[in-house]
Amino acid sequence: MFRFTSPPMPHYIASGQDTYPAGGGHAARTGIGVFDLLATTRGCLYLEEEGLPLPVPAGGFAILRPDRSHRTRKPCDAETHFYWLHFQTLGSWSEVTEREPYAATDDSAPYLQIETFVYHVPRAGELPVKEEAYAWLEELMRLQATPGAGARFRQQGMFQQLLERLQEEGGASAKDPQLALADEAAAYLRRSYREPISYKALAEQLHFHPNYIALCMKKAFGCTPLDYLTRYRIEQAKQLLIHTGEPIGKIAEDTGFITFSYFVRCFGKHTGTRPKAFRQRYRT
């Protein structure tokens, strides 16, 4: 499966369709520089990518890497119709065999780095809700011939819907229960960050031992629940410092810090500056 880190989200480039007769085959290509999503509606494409067999039967899809060579492994044994779609990402990506832990970037910019997220898209499989996927692919082609920025916006939005549906399909079978629990814990911490939160309260909320929750969050986010909560509170404080004129003491209280001095200490540790200096940097 492919592992993408966003933002930025992968972006749509171009798409089309083709039909090969029995005995036909896909062109051999090397390092085309874009991901190539293939979705077959009838027949079967028999492909290989650097020696790895990658058949795409009717109702199925496969994604070819931008940095490898691919070619026909054997000719089509019946008339084969398929859609193709090229996309790329300016973010980081990799090919993995299982869902890997999330690792937040270390950045002192004022906006939420913790909101960076990873998601996994299967390398190949059966298209979920085939007719809907085919309709989206047809609409993407229609929009390609439509001038204007509005059509480009709609193309990107529709492509994101298609990508989301593929990642949901892959997540249903590849979901790691530890990562699922970590996501649930993180969601609870984000909802409740203004309130005092203890490991006991977290355990009661999720019905798991706090040590196990901490282990899952270390695997998913590279930090303990307390560290995650502190980072999230700091990010919320950054937004309030930039976008409001609230006193810094009130911001500390509103973001869940028990004392002003503890807030200042945590803020300095995570940003390298004091709250007042941070506000002055981004407000004139």
150, 173, 196 — which closes off a domain? 173
**Structure token digits, residue 23:** 């005995």
Both 67 and 131 in a single domain? yes
Do 209 and 129 share a structural domain?
no
Q: What is the mean pLDDT of each run of 10 residues along the chain (284 residues)?
A: 88 96 92 94 95 93 94 95 96 78 51 65 89 94 92 95 82 65 91 93 94 90 90 93 93 95 94 92 78
- Strand order of the sheet with strand 60-64? 11-20, 80-88, 35-42, 60-64, 124-126
162 and 182 housed in the same domain? no
Co-location of 123 and 157 in the same domain: yes
* CA–CA dist 111, 94 (Å, integer): 25
SS3 250: helix
Domain containing 181 equals: 177-282
152 and 184 belong to one structural domain: no
Domain boundary (138, 173, 208) is at: 173
Same-domain pairing of 141 and 255: no
CA pair distance 49, 65, nearest whole angstrom:
8
Give me the residues paired with residue 6 across strands.
117
Q: Does residue 69 share a domain with residue 21? A: yes
Q: Which of 114, 135, 126 is nearest to 168 (CA)?
A: 126
> Residue 179's pLDDT is what?
80
Please check whether residue 241 is in contact with residue 278, taking contact to mean a CB–CB distance below 8 angstroms.
yes
Say if residue 94 is in the same domain as residue 8.
yes
Q: What is the pLDDT of residue 128?
A: 83
pLDDT recorded at residue 175: 59
Same-domain check for residues 32 and 144:
yes
What pLDDT shows up at residue 78? 95
3-state secondary structure of 145: coil
CA angle 141, 162, 44 (to 5 degrees): 75
Cβ atoms of residues 63 and 40 within 8 Å: no
The CA–CA distances, whole Å, from 165 to 56, 90, 132, 182 equal 18, 21, 10, 22
Contact 98, 165 (CB under 8 A): no
Same domain (yes/no): 200, 261: yes
**Structural domains in the chain (count):** 2
pLDDT for 172 equals 44
Whether residue 169 sits in one domain with residue 33: yes
Q: Are 144 and 33 in contact (CB under 8 A)?
A: no
Which residue, 153, 173, 193, sits at the end of a domain?
173
In whole angstroms, give the CA distance from residue 11 to residue 215: 34
Cα dihedral: 130, 8, 96, 133 (round 10): 0
Domain co-membership, 153 together with 191 = no
The tokens for 162 are 């298609």
CATH number at residue 229: 1.10.10.60
* CATH number of the domain where residue 107 is located: 2.60.120.280
86 C-beta neighbours (distance < 10 Å), count: 17
Q: Which of 4, 38, 15 is nearest to 164 (CA)?
A: 4
pLDDT of residue 115: 62
| pLDDT value at residue 109 | 53
Q: Which two tokens stand for residue 133?
A: 């996927």
Contact 81, 41 (CB under 8 A): yes
Contacts of 183 (CB under 8 A, 6+ apart): 220
